[in-house]
Structure 1
Amino acid sequence: MPERVKKEPERDAGVLVLGLGRFGSSIASTLDRLGRDVLAVERNEVRVAQWSGRLPLVQADATNPEALEQLGAKDFAVAVVGIGSSLEASVLVTANLVDLGTPQIWAKAVSSEHGRILERIGAHHVVYPESDAGARVAHLVSGKMLDYIEVEDDFTIVKMRPPQEMQGFTLAQSDVRRRYGVTVIGVKSPGLDFQYATPETRVASSDLIVCGGHADLLERFAARP
C-alpha cells in the first residue's frame, strides 16, 4: 500500500506527475502554483522528504500497476511521466498508464530511441527537455532573438529586437511579410502593454517585436542588421 505523504486532492480532471526530478518537479510545482489539481508520485525517499508539505504527494512505486490503481491513477485526465534516469522505469510506468486508459500521457525522453519506444507503447506526447532547451538556447545566442518557441512543423514564434530597416516605420511601410515571409504578431514598447500588430503599427528602435513564421525564415530575418 503506498505511503501517503499529503492529503490527496480532488481529481476530477487533474494531472498526475510521476517522478520528481528536475523536469517532473518543475511541472508539478508550476501546476500547483497555478491552482491546477495535481498529484505527484515519487518512490525516492530523499525526494519525497524534499517535496513533502510543498506539493500534493504520494510515495509509491509507479512501476507497480497495483500501486497506481490504489492511488486512483485512472481518475486523472492527464499523466506526466517525468522519469529519465531509468529507461526501464519510464517504459514500465508509461505502459501501466496506457493499460489504465489514461486519456493523455506526456512522457519525458532522454534520446530519440527512448522516445520511439514511448510512442510505440502508447504515449500521446513525447518531450525532449534537454534537447529542446539546447536547441532553444542555440537560437537565442546566435542573433537578436530574445525568446524562441517552436510550435509545430517548423512554425516558430520569436521575440526579438527590430532590424534597423523597420525602425521608425509602420509595418505597412516596412512590409516584412512580403519581403521576408514572416509575420509581426505584436509589439512591446518600454513601459507600455503588449499591442497586437496592425499595418499602422510604428516600430521604434527601443521596441521588442513578436514574430511568427517558418524557423529558417525567422533565422534569416533575425540576422538582419
Structure 2
Amino acid sequence: MAEKFVHHMLRGLGQRIEHRGEVVVIGLGRFGSSLSSTLIDMGHEVLGLDESAKRVQEHTELLTHVAQVDTTNIDALRQVGVADATSVVVCIGADVEASVLTTAALADLEIPNIWAKAQTEAHGRILARVGAHNVVFPEAEMGSRVAHLVTGGLLEYVALDADFALVEMAAPPELVGVPLGDSDLRRQYKVTVVCHKPVGGAFTYADRETVLSANDLVVVAGHRRDLDRFAAST
C-alpha cells in the first residue's frame, strides 16, 4: 500500500509534477515511518520532521536527514529547507490542529506537491481548503482492504480508484482446464483475468488462449461490486 501511495505522490496524481530532491515527511508516527521507509527502499532521499525528540532520534539512522521541528511555524520550516522541496507529505496523526496549520504553512511556502493524511472526511475537506493538493485516508483504505481479505478467498486486494480494483486469488474451479476465452467470464461476471502465476513459476499475461491449472494464482480486474460477486461465487 505504501509503495502504491509513493508512486501516486511522486507522479502528482492529476498534476504535472516533476519531483526533485528530498521528499519531506512530516510526522514520524506509524504511517509516516512506514512511508519514509518505503521511500528510502525505493531510492529516494527523505527529510523526516517531527516535534518529538524521541521519534527523531529513532529515525536518525533510517532516513537521509531528520530534524525536530514545530512544523506549524513557517519560519522553522524555512530554516530546515522545506521551502525548496517539491513533494511534502503531512502524516500528523491525531492532532488535527497541527495537521491543518502545517498544511497551511506549506501552502504559504508554495510547495507544488502537498499530500496530507486525514482522519475524517471533515478533516480532509479542511486540509484541501487550506492548500493540500491531495488528501489520503490510509486507515479507511486499509480497513476496506482488510475487510475484503478476511471475508473471502482473496489473497490481495488493491483499490485503483473508488469503484475499480485488482484482486489476487486462487484460480476458481470453473476457470480451470478451459481457455479463458471460452469461460464466459466477462459476460457472466463483468471481470477480467489480467495475469496468472503457475505453481513454481512467475506471473505472466493472460489472454483468451490461457488455460489455468488448479493451483494457479490469478489477478482479476473489475468494478468492486462485480469482483465481490465473482469472489463470492468461487
Q: TM-score with structure 1 length normalisation?
A: 0.91
**2:215 alignment partner in structure 1:** 206
**81, 91, 98: which is aligned to 1:89?**
98
**43, 58, 61: which is aligned to 1:35?**
43
- Deviation of 1:38 after TM superposition, in Å, equals 1.4
Matched residues in 2 for 1:61 and 1:82: separation?
14
**1:8 alignment partner in structure 2:** none
**112, 118, 135: which is aligned to 1:109?**
118
Matched residues in 2 for 1:180 and 1:24: separation?
39
Matched residues in 2 for 1:89 and 1:109: separation?
12
Show CA shifts across 1:11-50 (max 9, x none).
9433110010000011111111221121111110111121
Matched residues in 2 for 1:31 and 1:164: separation?
40
1:1-225 to 2 correspondences below 5 Å: 12-55=20-63, 56-225=65-234
AA matched with 1:51: H
How many residue pairs match? The answer is: 215
- Deviation of 1:106 after TM superposition, in Å, equals 1.1
- Deviation of 1:96 after TM superposition, in Å, equals 0.8
- Percent same amino acid at aligned positions? 48
- Deviation of 1:149 after TM superposition, in Å, equals 1.0
- Deviation of 1:153 after TM superposition, in Å, equals 3.4
Matched residues in 2 for 1:117 and 1:92: separation?
10
Q: Secondary structure at the match of 1:223?
A: helix
Show CA shifts across 1:74-119 (max 9, x none).
2211111000120000001111111111111111111111111111
**2:15 alignment partner in structure 1:** none
Q: TM-score with structure 2 length normalisation?
A: 0.88
Instruction: Kindly report the root-mean-square deviation, in angstroms, between the aligned alpha carbons of the 2 structures.
Output: 1.3
Matched residues in 2 for 1:174 and 1:13: separation?
50
Matched residues in 1 for 2:199 and 2:112: separation?
43
Matched residues in 1 for 2:115 and 2:153: separation?
32
Show CA shifts across 1:112-139 (max 9, x none).
1111111111211111111111111111
Show CA shifts across 1:188-208 (max 9, x none).
112111101111111111011
AA matched with 1:50: E
> Any unmatched runs of 5+ in structure 2?
1-18
Matched residues in 1 for 2:226 and 2:120: separation?
28
AA matched with 2:46: V
Matched residues in 2 for 1:194 and 1:175: separation?
22
